[in-house]
Amino acid sequence: MRVVSGIQPTGNLHLGNYLGAIRNWVRMQDDMGERAQAAEDGSAEKNAQCLFFLADLHAISMPHDPAELRRATLEMAAALVACGIDPSRSVLFNQAQVHAHAELQWLLNGTARMGWLNRMTQFKDKSGKNREGASVALFTYPVLQAADVLLYQATHVPVGEDQKQHLELARDIAQKFNNDFASEDAPVFTLPEPISPPQAARIMSLRDGSKKMSKSDPSEMSRIELADDPDTVMKKIKKAKTDPEPLPSEEKGLEDRPEALNLVTIYAALTDKSVDDVLSDFGGEGFGKFKPALGEVLVETLRPISERFTGLLEDREALDAILARGAAQARQIAVPTLDATYKALGLVRG
């Protein structure tokens, strides 16, 4: 079992990333440690491993400021460690230090089809009306994402709902490559499975329940950032858009109330309860009672994370060392697959 996932270092880590992805990464890392310990020597579980990376190569697909990218990459590394990613148990690195990612992307460009990329909704969303002005990197972005996971023979890829389409594409690329260039009993690539946490796979904006919470939303009030102090968290929750109705006692009652559903979903995810369980506690109550309760749970969850985050940011050398060590480990794992890909394609390399 090999778990691989990434996050773009653009802006600060927010609650959507945390509940939709990172918290699940930490759980998988912990679970993996237990499996490895329980496994008999030599069994496949002994090699159970997690790789988590900062997708800095993906970040250049949109206009960006180089100094800001450098800062955000280190901050995101600190944020991941603060959330519980332990660099001595998981491989933590940034793509730019492992050139096999960019190399494999080029090799897979021969297999990916224009029609497949044309269907990607993220490209449509991010390029908007200005398709002609979008970067080529934004279009081929999902091929790099496929390379990210196929390079390590990932079996499981924890992601939020919004990334599932990209994972499907990675499977399509792997399958076509194996069909075209490998024999059935010796495939070059493993087909990765996307996995989303049951709750909170999609956390929405606090200002608009139809848009996902996102780093690129111009309004800071639309998202909770992991480094927000308690006053800011309370203020953002208090101002979060809702409706005047009291909460229903079952999830069905939230069908046409996306903002209310989002807040209840966040509460449920933070307390590891189902939406129905939360509603059985708060059904009939208005937001005047629910919002302060949610704010408190949030503040308590974020407090230890933001304390660790601040401490880590002060030690730049330690952060550099974590990423360099992770990159060295990642390179080693990547080499056999990269070599096998060149060979399968008939490329001569001395």
Active site residues: 126, 212, 215
Q: Is 349 helix (H, G, I), strand (E, B) or coil?
A: coil
The answer to whether residue 228 forms part of the interface with ligand TYM (CB under 6 A) is no
Torsion region of 336: left, alpha or beta (phi above 0 gives left; psi -120 to 50 gives alpha): alpha
DSSP secondary structure string for all residues of 171-233: HHHHHHHHHHHS-TTS-SSPPPEEE--SS-SSPBPSS-TTSB--TT-S-GGG--BTT--HHHH
Mask for 278-317, x = binds ligand TYM (CB under 6 A):
----------------------------------------
Q: Which is nearer to ligand TYM, 128 or 288 (CB)?
A: 128
CA distance 12 to 225: 6
Q: Which is nearer to ligand TYM, 78 or 203 (CB)?
A: 203
The answer to whether residue 55 forms part of the interface with ligand TYM (CB under 6 A) is yes
Is there a contact between 295 and 238 (Cβ–Cβ < 8 Å)? Answer: yes
Q: Smallest gap, in angstroms, from Cβ of residue 289 to ligand TYM?
A: 26
Q: Smallest gap, in angstroms, from Cβ of residue 184 to ligand TYM?
A: 26
Burial 148-185 (b: 16+ CB within 10 A, else e): bbbbbbbbbbbbbebbeebbebbbbbbebbbeebeeee
Touching ligand TYM, residues 189-208 (CB under 6 A): 201-203
Q: Closest-CB residue for ligand TYM?
A: 20
Count of residues near ligand TYM by CB under 6 A: 24
Query: 343 a known binding residue?
Result: no
Strands 156-158 and 91-94, how do they pair? unpaired
Touching ligand TYM, residues 105-164 (CB under 6 A): 145, 148-149, 157, 159-160, 162-163
Torsion region of 90: left, alpha or beta (phi above 0 gives left; psi -120 to 50 gives alpha): beta
Q: Smallest gap, in angstroms, from Cβ of residue 348 to ligand TYM?
A: 30
Q: Among 82, 92, 206, 213, which residue sits at the site for ligand TYM (rule: CB under 6 A)?
A: 213
Q: Which is nearer to ligand TYM, 193 or 250 (CB)?
A: 193
Query: 5 a known binding residue?
Result: no
Is there a contact between 261 and 296 (Cβ–Cβ < 8 Å)? Answer: no
Q: Which residues are annotated as a binding site?
A: 8-10, 16-17, 148, 160-162, 203, 212-216
Q: Which residues are annotated as a binding site for L-tryptophan?
A: 148
Q: Which residues are annotated as a binding site for ATP?
A: 8-10, 16-17, 160-162, 203, 212-216
